[in-house]
Structure 1
């Protein structure tokens, strides 16, 4: 079962990382304008997500990977809150559905817990 979750988490991370490049402008919109270097932040976080997707499969340092991935998920949470508060749509030019924006926020919790569980030593 752990392999299934590791695979799923890895695919989600890698896909999200690629989207940071393919849809960079859309991701830049959810970084508050008061933060400098928004484009760089989007691209760097995309790279970090792709690196985490690979590190999930590296046995050595698995506990550290899980902890850093959980911290990363907590670090990007404010951007998701900003997106909900400002009603920023996933599709530029289309109206945002506030229900979806707010209901997706609790999904961050299983991502944090999942990262920590995947980082645990098997025993």
Structure 2
């Protein structure tokens, strides 16, 4: 069930990177070059991961890559909190909410590892016998 939620979250976020690219670009620090490219590439990665976490083989590697990805996008969340940026143009959020949002990245990182955990052979055998 958690894998479904995580997959839907990644798919929605990835899609939004393309449909609302300008909004996402506004949360990329201006000091970085190719901000539009960063948004589109990160959206493509989120779309890729939304499907890749369902792979039977190499799932553990996918999980580690997704966890690294979640660490790499964390600076954008910090930038949002520091600059009081939101995904809604012209809308401000209470700064405390933006700062309280930062620790939520930890469950996303741990969740990436959890939903891609390789099944142990004995678990697969038990599941096959239950059917």
Could you tell me the TM-score, scaled by structure 1's length? 0.94
Separation in 1, partners of 2:90, 2:2: 34
What is the aligned partner in structure 2 of residue 92 from structure 1?
A: 89
**1:49 aligns with one of 46, 50, 59:** 46
The structure 1 segments of at least 4 consecutive aligned residues displaced by more than 6 Å after TM superposition are none
What is the aligned partner in structure 2 of residue 63 from structure 1?
A: 60
For the pair 1:36 / 2:33, whether they are aligned, the reply is yes
1:62 is displaced (CA, Å) by 0.2
List runs of 5+ in structure 2 lacking aligned partners: 121-131
List runs of 5+ in structure 1 lacking aligned partners: none
Separation in 1, partners of 2:88, 2:32: 22
Aligned 8 A contact 1:31 1:38 in 2: yes
1:99 is displaced (CA, Å) by 2.2
> How large is the Cα RMSD of the aligned pairs?
0.9
Aligned positions, number: 120
1:97 is displaced (CA, Å) by 2.2
Could you tell me the TM-score, scaled by structure 2's length? 0.88
What is the aligned partner in structure 1 of residue 73 from structure 2?
A: 76
Bigger Rg over Cα: 2
1:84 is displaced (CA, Å) by 0.3
